[in-house]
Amino acid sequence: MRSFALVPTVCVAKLIEVTAMQKQFLPTILGICFFFGVCSPSAREGSALETVRRSTESIVTECAICHSTKEAQRGPVLHGMDAWYLLSQIQKFHDGTRGQNTDNRSEYLMGIAVKKLRNKREMNVAAKWFAKQKPMPAIRTVAGDAKSGAALYASRCAVCHGDKAEGKLDTASPSLTKLEGWYFIDQMRKFRNGQRGQNALDPGGQVMAAAVSDLTPHQISDVVAYVVDAFGPPEAPSLRQRFLPLPLETNSSRQ
């Protein structure tokens, strides 16, 4: 399709020649120019994509394939996260600051998915929609020593993320109160082992990576277990608890 872009240039050159030559071909040449220059498929598709305002629903339905609150999603639940943080991450994925490292497969997947968002308006719409959703209960998946986790949080995290993990805009540090344990610990490991926060154009990520680079796996489990328990989303019953048969007495007392 790119070759069509050459056609208008060739046309202008031909028109100049034509004035000196056979004028009877002028209408034909103009017709060809009009077809390729104005009506070329690339020109039509480009302008149509820009002008169609997709509804919020059609935008977020695409995100929900991986970010809904059903079990076994490929991405984290984003419900109730701060709009500023969501937008900042969406922009990082969009401009390639995050999500281009093939060693970080889940992040890479999101780097592809973000292309569904066509412009700034759609990025804003998606961030605002997820920020407005009610936070979801989460299954506790990370075990650790809450006491040492609390001490570690107070001395190593609170300065940027706030005393109650509420987040601080002035340090560009997000709230940690909506994170599920599995995603939280996964991101901590990625910051520590260099899979996130290494891009020179990502000062926020770099600051966070430096802040946790010396933590041991134990310390990471402790701090994640503590934050999820103390400030995180309400606990959801595990799959096992949900599908365990009710005790016999309970069954009979219901009849």
Q: Which residues bind ligand HEC (CB under 6 A)?
A: 62-63, 65-67, 74-76, 78, 86, 88-90, 106-107, 109-110, 113, 116-117, 126, 156-157, 159-161, 171-174, 176, 179, 184, 187-188, 204-205, 207-208, 211-212, 223
165: region left, alpha or beta (phi > 0 left; psi from -120 to 50 alpha): left
Considering the complex, state which of residue 11 and residue 209 has its C-beta at the smaller distance from ligand HEC.
209
Closest CA to 206 of 196, 215, 219, 218: 196
Considering the complex, state which of residue 11 and residue 94 has its C-beta at the smaller distance from ligand HEC.
94
Asked whether 222 and 194 are in contact (CB, 8 A), the reply is no
- The dihedral over CA atoms of 54, 120, 207, 210, expressed in degrees to the nearest 10, equals 50
Considering the complex, state which of residue 11 and residue 59 has its C-beta at the smaller distance from ligand HEC.
59
**Rounded distance between C-alpha atoms, residue 223 and residue 148, angstroms:** 7
- Residue 204 CB, shortest distance to ligand HEC, in Å, is 3
Considering the complex, state which of residue 11 and residue 110 has its C-beta at the smaller distance from ligand HEC.
110
**Rounded distance between C-alpha atoms, residue 23 and residue 238, angstroms:** 81
Closest CA to 116 of 88, 84, 94: 94
- Residue 207 CB, shortest distance to ligand HEC, in Å, is 5
- Residue 56 CB, shortest distance to ligand HEC, in Å, is 11
- Residue 84 CB, shortest distance to ligand HEC, in Å, is 10
